[in-house]
Structure 1
Amino acid sequence: MNIEGDQVLEEICSYALHSKDFSVSAIENAYLCFWDALACLLHGVKSEECRWRMTPLFDSPGSCVIPGTLLKADPLNASYAISCAVRWLDYNDAWLAQEWGHPSDNLGGILACTQYMERTTGEKISGLKILEWMIKAHEIQGILSLKNSLNRFGLDHVVFVRVASAAIATSILGGGEKEVMSALSNSFVDGAPLRIYRHAPATGWRKSWAAADAVRRAVWLAFMAIKGEMAYPNVLSLPQWGFSDALLRGAPIVMDRPLSQFVMENVLFKPFPAEYHSQSAIEAALELREEVLPKLEKIRRIEIHTQLPAIRIIHKQGPLHNPADRDHCLEYIVAIALLYGKVTQDLYEDEVARDPRIDALRKKMVTIEDKAYTSDYYDPEKMAVPNAIQVFFEDGTATIKKEILYPLGHPKRRNEFQKVLLQKIENSLDHLFSEERKKQILDLYLSKEKFFSKSSSELASLFVPDI
């Protein structure tokens, strides 16, 4: 399969509207993804910076519950708030290809729209149905990301978040082919934001709410479509004024595989709150730490061998200005793993960043692209995310070159990650829920059949803090 241009819209439209028989493995991964995203959300709402960007929206309470908070909002603002908190700590799932992204960013639109539909129609939307919507949103965003690099034009991946959320939100709201085409085409007409907020020297907080902004816009376009707003079905191909000519210098939007469940079956989870290309480097650093820590003052050089995307996204030298900058710096992340024996969100804060040992280690780091790593990264049969670290000392000795090809959240290590996920969920519940509520939540996680039968509103309400 190899389609491009406006036919892409037709394929997405058809996929969003028609029922699919998803595999057991896709449903299982969607289940893990839902709980992983909710854990990320609960961690996120504890951040003052995250709450600061959520609460100004809610002068007029609405009907959609925002998990992890006592807030309610209309579907647009609820979709923004939910996705903002899910994404805040760079802790939710990832998808790596020609374009990079985080498909669970779409969850805000799904939870907000399903709650809205339950309230307005009286019909229950089950937890299982939510997982099916998640599979579809993941698939649309992820398949678009396989062959279409927005980043090489300086544009941000949240375009594909907006596209996926627009299609799925419209379908949830009861739209048909005409309405989905309207929301889809208008999501491309919106154009694309710049990636400036993801890269030094301008890395900033917007990288944590950009996807949420895209989801909110998608939900707005979905409601407009339901009301009858017109479509622009030639938005991708129109000469001069279309998306490809105006933004991609004529490069077409293409899809080279059918929309099914490929993305959810292969999505990447994060054991550490850090940009995904660093995850295997963290594991390597932690394994070397016991040998390296007693000899910190005698380190001559630290070599980080990595893939090209990590070089492009998170290789940074010089000052780092805020936590949003630090969690996207490969060298900073490796330094705190070596020094503290862990990578947690609090280690990006200013108090920790003032530790002089961090920058002293960063200055000794040499980050090198390994061509074989880059090749394995782009190989669809491998989808590796490799890193290796070797530390050299002044006396001429060195550690082994510790290599990790597949990080803990990779599909090849899914069983290992499930143990980490349980701990991630348990930690996220602290300071928000009573012991009794924690038990209820964990019991539900351990009972998929019970989860499948819960309604969207019941699930959202379970995560309203009770302390």
Structure 2
Amino acid sequence: ARTALLDALSCAIETASKSPSARALLGPIIPGTTVPHGFPVPGTSHTVDPVKGTFDLGVLIRYLDHNDASWGMEWGHPSDNIAALLATSDYLSRHPRYVNIKANPTTISTLLSAITKSYEIQTHYQALNAFHAHNLDHVILVELASAAVCSWMMGHSASKTQSILSHVWMDAGPSRLYRTHPCTVPRKGWAAADAAARAVALVFRADREGSEEAMRGVGSVLRHKGGGFRDGRFGGREFEFVGGLGEMEGRGVEGVMYKIMPVEGHGCAAVEAVLGQMEKEPGMVWEDVEEVVVRVPWAAKYIISRPGREELKCAAERDHCLEWVVAVAMVKGRAIEVEDYEDEGGWVGDERVEELRGRIVVKEDEELTRHYLDVGKRSIAAGVAVRLKDGRVLEEVLVEFPVGHVRNPRTGEEVRRKFVRNMRLMFTEEEIHRILEVVERDDARVCELVDLLAR
């Protein structure tokens, strides 16, 4: 959980430093609004209420597609919940009304427990339930997990929490159209922030004195005939689970993949594999290539394959195009960076990239799909084979566990390097050291950490 927190914070600082598009969404809805006991948004000078603070931090964590990922029949990014958990626990640690409540959400220890709980809830649902098959975006699970855990931090009763969660299911989550070609737009970078903010809003409404009647829930929200969630939005299906909460080895906070490069998670192995091909064949350049065959699990083909040379109109489309990402990496000869996706990054419209895109073939592979869904293996693999114009075929390079995967031995070191690299964009070495010291202190108040992150 500590690693997950540090990684999410590093993603937030990177976005605050590099993305004008994301920064435009930040700050109070009405400029100049001030909030007593407000949440200082990391990497900014904004202080806002916990709901807007959740949205703002959620944008910063997610917008550049550099935060952690988890997968199964559904995919998603569990660190999206950290926005809700940090904004809420910070507020509770500042406001006199909440400082001594039962759950004691003032310390780093409790924040880490909250992160663990939220990851467990989200990945529990992801394992066997395909929300995308019903045009439901996976951020519904962010609203669910964030609402449940923030309610716990507030010290709510089980019945009040159940009422809050029934409102989450009545919200029923957004359509995933904004992730779907040719409709992919930047909303995919703030959809989870919106979901987490909705969760926090529900929790704070339910916490208001005298709100019990107004916030009354619906106990049959899932099973109600016709209009309940299962019949109305989930094709009449029951949810399926692998055991109970806490019983799924290798999932939850211990099973996520950290993104060392800012590539949609299903594309990381392909980029590693194509760079591996270039290491094996020194001197190979893109002009030598007749065809690149990328073998992937079904989810990668479904989510991020965009064959051909159709124009990709924004960064949101480019980072969801496996062919474009592989082509840029091959022309550059190194991993893609955040700036490469932008119009000013130098690669948009580059004829070398566009020509190479047309030579890349992405193929779904049954074996890789089995390993992807196997709860015991959970690889997120890609194999890359290259056919050259001189007739030679370079043997496939297969990457099963890219750097960032829990089973890759380099992951821990690389996540730490990513944290320091991103934090240096806004903080001195001394400031980074102080931030790490607070995160390592279980008894530190959450607001101590948040105050160090403001700029």
Question: What pairs with 1:351-390 in structure 2 (closer than 5 Å)?
Answer: 351=344, 352-390=347-385
1:168 paired to 2:146: no
Question: What pairs with 1:30-429 in structure 2 (closer than 5 Å)?
Answer: 30-46=1-17, 47-55=19-27, 57=29, 59=31, 60-62=33-35, 63-120=38-95, 121-123=98-100, 125-226=106-207, 227-228=211-212, 229-260=215-246, 262-290=251-279, 291=281, 294-317=284-307, 318-340=310-332, 341-351=334-344, 352-413=347-408, 415-429=409-423
Distance 2:99 2:438 in 1: 24
Deviations 1:387-409 (A, max 9, x none): 01111111111222000011111
Shift of 1:58: 5.7
1:337 maps to a residue whose letter is: A
CA contact (8 A) 1:40 1:91 kept: yes
Shift of 1:285: 1.4
Which SS does the other structure have where 1:54 is aligned?
coil
Shift of 1:253: 2.5
CA contact (8 A) 2:438 2:444 kept: no
CA contact (8 A) 1:293 1:338 kept: no
Which SS does the other structure have where 2:295 is aligned?
strand
Shift of 1:165: 0.7
CA contact (8 A) 1:58 1:73 kept: no
Most deviating of 277-286 and 52-61:
52-61
Distance 2:424 2:64 in 1: 16
Shift of 1:200: 1.1
2:99 maps to a residue whose letter is: G
CA contact (8 A) 2:28 2:52 kept: no
Shift of 1:265: 1.7
Distance 2:264 2:348 in 1: 17
2:381 maps to a residue whose letter is: P
CA contact (8 A) 2:81 2:145 kept: yes
CA contact (8 A) 1:66 1:72 kept: yes
CA contact (8 A) 2:324 2:357 kept: yes
Distance 1:167 1:44 in 2: 27
Which SS does the other structure have where 1:391 is aligned?
strand
Alignment partner, residue 464 of structure 1: 454
Which SS does the other structure have where 1:45 is aligned?
helix
Deviations 1:6-54 (A, max 9, x none): xxxxxxxxxxxxxxxxxxxxxxxx1110100000111111210110112
Most deviating of 118-127 and 331-340:
118-127
Q: CA 1:289–1:61 in 2, change beyond 3 Å: closer, same or farther?
A: farther
Q: Paired residues, what number?
A: 431
Most deviating of 289-298 and 314-323:
289-298
Distance 1:304 1:338 in 2: 13
Distance 2:127 2:183 in 1: 27
Distance 1:316 1:258 in 2: 37
Which SS does the other structure have where 2:290 is aligned?
strand
Deviations 1:429-465 (A, max 9, x none): 23422343234335556xx3x3x22211001111112
Task: Give me the TM-score of the superposition, normalised by structure 1.
Answer: 0.89
CA contact (8 A) 1:303 1:389 kept: yes
Coordinate RMSD, CA, aligned: 1.6
Distance 2:16 2:414 in 1: 21
CA contact (8 A) 1:105 1:161 kept: yes
CA contact (8 A) 2:27 2:48 kept: no
Task: Give me the TM-score of the superposition, normalised by structure 2.
Answer: 0.91
Shift of 1:256: 3.3
Distance 1:186 1:461 in 2: 33
Deviations 1:117-161 (A, max 9, x none): 112233462111111000100111110111111101111001111
Most deviating of 418-427 and 372-381:
418-427
Alignment partner, residue 23 of structure 1: none
Identity of aligned pairs, percent? 31
Q: As a proportion of its length, which structure holds more helix?
A: 1
CA contact (8 A) 1:236 1:253 kept: no
Distance 1:444 1:225 in 2: 31
Which SS does the other structure have where 1:280 is aligned?
helix
1:210 maps to a residue whose letter is: A
CA contact (8 A) 2:6 2:419 kept: yes
Shift of 1:93: 0.9
Distance 2:64 2:325 in 1: 14
2:337 maps to a residue whose letter is: T
Distance 1:353 1:43 in 2: 21
CA contact (8 A) 1:293 1:339 kept: no
